Amino acid sequence: MHVMNWIFAGMLAVGIIVSLLLGRGAEVTAAVLGDGAETVKMCLELAGTVCIWSGIMKVAERSGLCGKLSRLMSPIISFLFPGLADSSPAAASAVSMNITANLLGLGSAATPMALVAMREMDRLNRRPEVASDYMIVLTSLNTASFQLIPATVAGIRQLAGSAAPLDILPAVWISSAVSVTLAVSVAKLFCRRRGKHEHS
């Protein structure tokens, strides 16, 4: 986190310096003073959309729908995380909830589930100082994530004045499918190569 703070601070400083060198100091000042307030306003308005979908997730969880989805996704979980359901049902359930939240485009709801899964996976990890194969695959899956309904992005588009905030669905489906396939494939390949190296 400390390194990321320095990276973002450096990007911000470079952007400001380049803008001043190009004679756009007034635009930078206007952006800092004006767009900051607009950003806060948009975040507050977007919170409503996130709350609605998070509430739907909570209703689905308490009604047992998420349990049914977990059973429906059990073949996927078994393929991506072989043996996890037997070793830690709680971790497998959290992974299923994470995938479900990501399908709805709810990163804010998916992240807590990923953290729960990571905590459970860490209990199974024989080398706590090194990420396990389960952790590596979950990180790539959660980061790339296939989105069926990009609720958060659609909400941002609607607040920005889009007349059809969901017309991006085909592009989202294609791009997220490609990204999650590549991310998980690379993670699996890395885990396999690491396993061969450790046993050689």
pLDDT for the residue numbered 197: 58
pLDDT at 6 over 50: yes
- For residue 46, how many other CB atoms are within 10 A of its CB? 15
Output 42 or 194, whichever has higher pLDDT.
194
| Cα→Cα distances 91→35, 126, 159, 171, 197, Å | 41, 16, 36, 31, 27
Query: 17 CB contacts (<8 Å, ≥6 apart)?
Result: none
Give the separation between CA 90 and CA 158, rounded to whole angstroms. Answer: 37
Cβ atoms of 151 and 132 closer than 8 Å: no
Exposure on the CB side of residue 81, measured as CA atoms within 13 A: 29
For 125-161, the pLDDT digits (tens) are: 888 888 888 999 999 988 888 888 787 788 778 877 8
Give the separation between CA 100 and CA 61, rounded to whole angstroms. Answer: 11
Asked whether the whole model's pTM tops 0.75, one would answer no
Query: 156 CB contacts (<8 Å, ≥6 apart)?
Result: 42, 46
pLDDT at 164 over 70: yes
Give the separation between CA 122 and CA 49, rounded to whole angstroms. Answer: 33
Terminal CA-to-CA distance of the chain, rounded, Å?
35
DSSP assignment letter at 175: H
pLDDT for the residue numbered 200: 46
Give the separation between CA 45 and CA 50, rounded to whole angstroms. Answer: 9
- For residue 158, how many other CB atoms are within 10 A of its CB? 16
pLDDT for the residue numbered 66: 67
Give the separation between CA 128 and CA 132, rounded to whole angstroms. Answer: 8
| Segments in the chain forming alpha helices (H) | 2-21, 25-30, 36-63, 65-72, 74-80, 84-87, 89-103, 107-124, 133-144, 151-159, 169-199
pLDDT at 48 over 80: no
